[in-house]
Amino acid sequence: MMKIPLTRQVKEYALSLGFNDVGISLPEIKQKDYEALITYLDRHYHGKMAFLNEKTERRRNISMLYPEAKSLIMVLASYAPAIMSNRSRYKISYYTYSHDYHKVIKSKLQDLLRFIKNVDSHADGMIFCDTLPIFEKSYAAAAGLGWIGKNSLLINPIYGSYCVIGGIALNIELSPDKPIQQKCPENCNKCIDACPTKALIKPYILDASRCVSYLTVENKEDKMPFENPTSYIAGCDICQKVCPYNNRAVHSQNVFFTPQSHVYWTDNEWETLTTSTFKKQLSGTSLSRIGLKTLRRNIKLI
């Protein structure tokens, strides 16, 4: 099948599944992105996320994960909620309002891959969503889904940075998109200035070991390395809330991410969270990945 018609079909179907944006990139990573990762790791900006220091060569070459890769479909879904909760002083990041995005995006990508296989019997692919050693943000930028902002996040010109991404490495060729030339204004440092722990040490560079999101999600120790200066108990959106691109972004409630009951909990409901309630109401949400023990620790330290 011709590349252009198939590419168009793939994009149209991806959008019909509920993704907000979709683009195509070649399965090649820029040398500068790989070198930036090595520098990042050498300076220990990854904190105790040891998995980032593993299989770095595979991140450089996706063919080591999927040798047949000829093109990448990159998808984007906005999780910006239509309604912001304010019943509790305990704050949670917007991405934790709903179901675990890894499972949601992977399920929709499986639907997309089945569609492609039905259209082209020779097609096959490998699905990924923040679960494999892949430069997802770099590939998404190469596919025209946005640019890497000064807060180190992918910024889409329409939906801002409240987005999750995923993709499919395909064994067939599709027509690649061009990267967006837009970038953050030189004179805008709102995200850097707003970070309460100075985790954004300079434009585009995040020291995860200082980041509240890392401290409340990835750090599983009984004690925090330093006091949490925010009210966040799961993740952190401060650098995103001040971003001009998020202030004018389209906030349409994506069907993938319907807010669940915990979004409306009171202080008391958070403070008296039991194992039973955690399993019944938070299982399957992004908060389940944090774990009850860590969540309780975070609440006590506010």
| Alpha carbon distance 109, 105 (integer Å) | 6
| Alpha carbon distance 127, 186 (integer Å) | 36
> Are the CB atoms for 60 and 107 separated by under 8 Å?
no
β-bridge mates for residue 99, sequence order: 285
| Alpha carbon distance 256, 234 (integer Å) | 20
β-bridge mates for residue 127, sequence order: 168
CA-nearest of 137, 143, 138 to 165 is: 137
Q: Would you list the DSSP string of 57-89?
A: HHHH-GGGT-TT--EEEEEEEE---SS---SSS
Q: Which of 130, 177, 207, 222 is catalytic?
A: 130
What is residue 168's three-state secondary structure?
strand
CA separation (Å) from 15 to 12, 95, 199, 216?
Answer: 5, 20, 35, 33
CA-nearest of 84, 123, 105, 80 to 17 is: 105
| Alpha carbon distance 51, 118 (integer Å) | 36
Q: Is 100 tagged catalytic?
A: no
Q: Which residues are catalytic?
A: 130
